Structure 1
Amino acid sequence: MNHWLRTGSLFFALLAGSLVVSAGARAQEEEDPDAEIEEAGEEAEADAESEADAEADAEAEADEAPEEEDAPEEPEEEEEAYEPVEDEEEGLDVPRTLCHGRRVRRIRIRGNRRVSDDDVTATIRLRSGSTCRDSAVARDAQALWNQGFYDDIVVEAEERGSDRIDLTFRVRERPAIGRITFEGNDNVEQADLVEVVDLTEGGILSVPTVREQVTAIRDKYAEEGFFLARVSYRLRRMENNQVDVVFQVDEGERVTVRRVRFVGNRHLADGELQSVMRTRQSGFFSFISNDDRFNRAHFEEDTTRLQAFYYDRGYLAMRVGTPRIDLSADRTYIDVTIPIEEGPRFRIGRLVVREVDD
């Protein structure tokens, strides 16, 4: 209502402005009644002179065209920025509900199974005997929704006399998670997948959280070398308002190690280091042994093998950095780069053997 009043007041202000301009013009005309006669005479003389000069101007223009002078630019009017004025107390007049302004006689909870009535009433702030306000009902409904336990919340009001009402909160609970299962995981153990999934059997189902687990499972497969793995899920409804969450995995092929490179190995050649590793880059006979397939367990073992290889040669402070794995554009090959910090090489200066008496 107030917005319409605002628009109306602006409209009337514009009308008032036009009326002011019109009134000023009429006032000027009333001040000098002979102004119209004098102006008419002056206009007649001006017309005669303009007709006489027209021919001369035409001849002058034919001989020589005068240079046009640039008209002085009028200063641009500064644009007035529009700043909306917001007033919380002024706005559309929204019709009140049956609840607003009446006293609450009783509050009932309906539709809840796992969540007790006491838990629901502890969340809302309206109480029997309090005055009901539409804003209070919206606040309590939002508080229940934010708990994440419900798919739907409806608040109903029933008249009880002229100034009393009964409030009913009808909720529809989200299902609980019955079981979490995996299908198609031939190369990754189910126990390893359960570790990365942030779901609990018996917990409240949250579909956005289930979607997040798809990414976590895919990342786990990428660690194992299955960069082409595809993961989806389905929800299977069970009894007692429960659902089973089933993750379906299409593992795809394990990627091939195209190249293994070392950075920082100044004293030992790449070939020497590659000879002690189980992770091998692609070669002519790779299709026979399949030793060029990336395997996370083998790759972690290779770190220990490299350290032992350096220790045997006196590099006791040697350290293997965090490897970098680059995936090819077609997601079928990876290039592995292993940083090496060799450190100093230690040698035996003197060896002394002594006999120790018992």
Structure 2
Amino acid sequence: MGKLLTGVTPPRKGCGYRAGVSAAAVSIALTMAFAGVPDRALAQSYAFDSVAIEGNQRIEAGTILSYAGIARGQTVSAAELNDAYQRLLASGLFETVEITPQGSRLVIEVREYPTINRIAFEGNDRIDDEELATIVRAQSRRVYSPRVAEQDAQAIAEAYVQQGRLAARVQPKLIRRSDNRVDLVYEIFEGGVSEIERIGFVGNQAFSDRRLRRVLQTKQAGLLRAIIRSDTFIEDRVAFDRQLLQDFYASRGYVDFRITGVNSEFANEQDGYFLTFNVEEGQQFSFGQIDVASDLAEVDVESFRDVLSLRSGRTYSPSDVEDEIARLERLAVQQGLNFVRIDPQITRNDRDLTLDVTFQLTRGPRIFVERIDIEGNTTTLDRVIRRQFDTAEGDPFNPRAIREAAERIRALGYFENAEVEAREGTTPQQVIVDVNVTEQPTGSIGFGGSYSTSSGFGAAISFAEQNFLGRGQRLSFGINTSDSTQSYTFSFVEPAFLGRDVAFGLNLAYNTTDYSNTQYDTTEGVFRPSLTFPVSERARLGLRYTARLSDISDAYDGDAGNVIRSEEDLGERIDSSVGYTLSYDTRRTGLDPNSGVLLEFGQDFGGVGGDTTFIKTNLRAVAQTTVWNEEVTLRASFEAGALNYSSGESRVTDRFLLNDSTMRGFAYGGIGPREYSDAADVDDSIGGDYFAVARFEAEFPLGLPEEYGLSGGVFYDVGSVWGLSDSTAAAAGSNSILYEEASARHVIGVSVFWDSILGPLRLNFSQPLKKEKYDEEQNFSLSLSSQF
């Protein structure tokens, strides 16, 4: 009797399937196999006394029979035989399957898929084997699956697409080994990088192409195209850029802005793209009338009007409206008004290009938070994520509070992806908040080099962990050395001390320096625990204790003057102080996206034990804004400090010595009180008890392609260091004390900024307009830091 082959499909190329059988061959086989059997019986059913399994090596016969679904003595039809064949193939265990009726006996012959001996990659250069191994699903000592191999090839190709290599191709190949084993090799053709040669805009009037290109995540190919990967063409990145442009214009009052299309054209040389964004800006709108309204009897509308910070005439921004809603919702909670919803009602006035906003307080649905479920965190503890929510189980459900919590979770930097969604709970009056996160590495080890004109060349070793033991704690330590200084630092921060919105910090430092000369050496050790917490929406207060050990040595071995030598005679000293710093920062949270202010005021009070009693005061104020369609950045800053001792004396290690980051145009300690004697060859900068510096600068484009990362600037600095105690001045003896009184120095200069692959680089070229005779100038300064 002949064989019955049912349901055999044509082979897939490269997968090792046997040749198929045509429908005519199947028909002939059926005719020969059942000649003499009544037609009606042939078409309906067959019965087998036994079922034989052949060809299986790893898979048990019972397993094969369970997939086939045919038992001994069972009556089956031709269609059911075909279904059994399809089930066996669909199991993914067999390369070929043959079902052959032999009278009352059914033979099922199978050929199992081979076992993967090893997995290899060939042709890859840009992505190493270790990274590719994390992409593929196929594994050694597992059964080979053509479907999985093809999916792996597609995943590898997609990884190359994310690097801008759109022409990458991947082909899985098999190398047969003994004992039904194979080596699975992914042959990779990486192709070239599809770079963005040029990014252009059509339809923009308010902002230049240069300004809009700064908004985009995609960059043009530049000089460092072999290193910088943001100039490669990636479709997902371009889609994200569309949203960035939308947000940029919306935050500046262009409520009708839209992107009509994004054109990407392949260059004639087939090596890059020209990307063009077609935009319609529309008109810029400002805020008109701002008001609060409510029909709820329990709402005191006037109290809500009093907390509004928006004012008419300000450029419209959706984020400003969101800030006001959040502020009003917080007030509603404080007043015990649960389930009150704030709906902004916006009225458009096309004649004067304003938008009136009325915040309507209405009664929202009574919905509570049933629970918060967190998934995906393998290292980070649940409580670290949960404390980002102001809402707890059982609280009224506030969608805005959930969205803000989601943003705070993403801002932690612990997760590659964080999704926060709300769904209906066990009842329609309850919701379940699902948090699904994907963790990413949060630690780093750095080996680097540095150079600055004030301290010379140096080396650095650092370790930092932003999520220590999954507790959200920050831990870091570092070693920095240069020609004149050695620094060892340790820092630890617990951002939620005792479960509160209070950050506990501990800083340890040990520094030695010779001030770039051989006149004297210094040693300093610092122990500083601190607590920092918010006191308002944009203000924070930090409290600290500082124990500081300081010592001056080797002054007699060098050419140090009488003041430094007398201060060395005081020996090793311990200062113990408590202090605070109050800061107010609108640079990121203010209503104007182009302007911001930072104010800091701090004091340290010595005398809590230790050898001295003093008050040290520091003040810093910074204001920044952009003008001329955000092409030019204007910045003004002011710093000042005062040191007053009521017990003990200040030393050179305590007094203010300015560097070029505070006052440009002069070397470290180049201005301020000096001990001078031409006869004794003494010229020591001894610092002052007071200082004040004002800096004004402008940063602007140089007209060069943005991909070079170059911009220019001009600056003007004015400042002084002055003041010494009577005993310090008297210690100079026959030597002169110069510049004890305040004398303003004036400096002008130009800057070149380079956003290089090594990090931000700034070159300052300065010229003092007014200085004193023995001041030490520094007409060029360079700040460079590299990590590799």
TM-score w.r.t. structure 2 length? 0.26
2:58 alignment counterpart: 114
Cα distance, 1:171 vs. partner? 0.9
Asked whether 1:97 is paired with 2:41, we answer no
Instruction: Kindly tell me the number of residue pairs found equivalent between the two proteins.
Output: 250
Following the alignment from structure 1 to structure 2, what is the Cα–Cα distance between the partners of residues 352 and 294?
36
Cα distance, 1:184 vs. partner? 2.2
Distance 1:316 1:171, change over 3 A: same
Q: Cα deviations across residues 103-145 of structure 1 (Å, max 9, x unaligned)?
A: 5322222211232212111122332233465444333223212
Following the alignment from structure 1 to structure 2, what is the Cα–Cα distance between the partners of residues 352 and 197?
52
Following the alignment from structure 2 to structure 1, what is the Cα–Cα distance between the partners of residues 272 and 118?
36
Correspondences of 1:99-248 after superposition (within 5 Å): 103-131=47-75, 133-158=77-102, 165-194=104-133, 196-207=135-146, 209-248=148-187
Correspondences of 1:1-358 after superposition (within 5 Å): 95=31, 97=33, 103-131=47-75, 133-158=77-102, 165-194=104-133, 196-207=135-146, 209-261=148-200, 267-272=206-211, 274=213, 280-281=219-220, 286=222, 289-291=223-225, 295-296=229-230, 326-328=264-266, 331-337=270-276, 344=317, 345-346=592-593
Cα distance, 1:355 vs. partner? 11
Distance 1:93 1:194, change over 3 A: closer
Report the secondary structure of 2:106's partner residue.
strand
Following the alignment from structure 1 to structure 2, what is the Cα–Cα distance between the partners of residues 350 and 206?
61
Cα distance, 1:92 vs. partner? 11
Q: Which is worse superposed, 214-223 or 344-353?
A: 344-353
Cα distance, 1:211 vs. partner? 3.7
2:715 alignment counterpart: none
Following the alignment from structure 1 to structure 2, what is the Cα–Cα distance between the partners of residues 231 and 350?
53
Q: Which runs of 5+ in 2 are unaligned?
A: 1-26, 282-314, 318-591, 604-788
Instruction: Assess if the C-alpha contact under 8 Å between 1:149 and 1:204 holds in 2.
Output: yes
Report the secondary structure of 2:164's partner residue.
coil
Report the secondary structure of 2:69's partner residue.
coil
Following the alignment from structure 1 to structure 2, what is the Cα–Cα distance between the partners of residues 93 and 251?
49
Quick one: which amino acid aligns to residue 67 of structure 2? Answer: T
Distance 1:338 1:222, change over 3 A: farther
Computed over aligned residues only, the root mean square deviation of the Cα atoms, in angstroms, reads 5.2
Quick one: which amino acid aligns to residue 328 of structure 1? Answer: F
Instruction: Assess if the C-alpha contact under 8 Å between 2:264 and 2:274 holds in 1.
Output: yes
Distance 1:277 1:250, change over 3 A: same
Instruction: Assess if the C-alpha contact under 8 Å between 2:169 and 2:189 holds in 1.
Output: yes
Following the alignment from structure 2 to structure 1, what is the Cα–Cα distance between the partners of residues 277 and 141?
44
More strand by share: 2
Distance 1:332 1:143, change over 3 A: same
Quick one: which amino acid aligns to residue 62 of structure 2? Answer: D
Report the secondary structure of 2:48's partner residue.
strand
Following the alignment from structure 1 to structure 2, what is the Cα–Cα distance between the partners of residues 176 and 216?
22
More helix by share: 1
Following the alignment from structure 1 to structure 2, what is the Cα–Cα distance between the partners of residues 103 and 121?
15
Following the alignment from structure 2 to structure 1, what is the Cα–Cα distance between the partners of residues 219 and 160?
20
Quick one: which amino acid aligns to residue 221 of structure 1? Answer: Y
Instruction: Assess if the C-alpha contact under 8 Å between 1:150 and 1:174 holds in 2.
Output: yes
Higher relative contact order (CA 8 A, sep 6+): 1
Q: Which is worse superposed, 325-334 or 145-154?
A: 325-334
Report the secondary structure of 2:33's partner residue.
coil
Q: Cα deviations across residues 134-181 of structure 1 (Å, max 9, x unaligned)?
A: 44433322321232322222334455xxxxx33221111112333332
Quick one: which amino acid aligns to residue 137 of structure 1? Answer: L
Instruction: Assess if the C-alpha contact under 8 Å between 2:220 and 2:231 holds in 1.
Output: no
Distance 1:142 1:327, change over 3 A: same
Instruction: Assess if the C-alpha contact under 8 Å between 1:256 and 1:292 holds in 2.
Output: no
Report the secondary structure of 1:246's partner residue.
strand
Instruction: Assess if the C-alpha contact under 8 Å between 1:281 and 1:292 holds in 2.
Output: no
Distance 1:317 1:96, change over 3 A: farther
Instruction: Assess if the C-alpha contact under 8 Å between 1:279 and 1:295 holds in 2.
Output: no
Instruction: Assess if the C-alpha contact under 8 Å between 1:260 and 1:336 holds in 2.
Output: yes
Instruction: Assess if the C-alpha contact under 8 Å between 1:280 and 1:292 holds in 2.
Output: no
Q: Cα deviations across residues 203-249 of structure 1 (Å, max 9, x unaligned)?
A: 44343553454344333222212233343332122343232221122
Report the secondary structure of 1:218's partner residue.
helix
Following the alignment from structure 2 to structure 1, what is the Cα–Cα distance between the partners of residues 264 and 110?
50
Distance 1:240 1:325, change over 3 A: farther
Cα distance, 1:274 vs. partner? 4.4
Following the alignment from structure 2 to structure 1, what is the Cα–Cα distance between the partners of residues 181 and 316?
59
Cα distance, 1:294 vs. partner? 6.9
Instruction: Assess if the C-alpha contact under 8 Å between 1:233 and 1:247 holds in 2.
Output: yes
1:6 alignment counterpart: none
Following the alignment from structure 2 to structure 1, what is the Cα–Cα distance between the partners of residues 137 and 121?
14
Identity %: 22
Report the secondary structure of 1:95's partner residue.
helix
Following the alignment from structure 1 to structure 2, what is the Cα–Cα distance between the partners of residues 277 and 126?
63
Quick one: which amino acid aligns to residue 119 of structure 1? Answer: T
TM-score w.r.t. structure 1 length? 0.51
Following the alignment from structure 2 to structure 1, what is the Cα–Cα distance between the partners of residues 273 and 86?
49
Instruction: Assess if the C-alpha contact under 8 Å between 1:226 and 1:255 holds in 2.
Output: yes
Following the alignment from structure 1 to structure 2, what is the Cα–Cα distance between the partners of residues 225 and 201?
30
Following the alignment from structure 1 to structure 2, what is the Cα–Cα distance between the partners of residues 228 and 324?
21
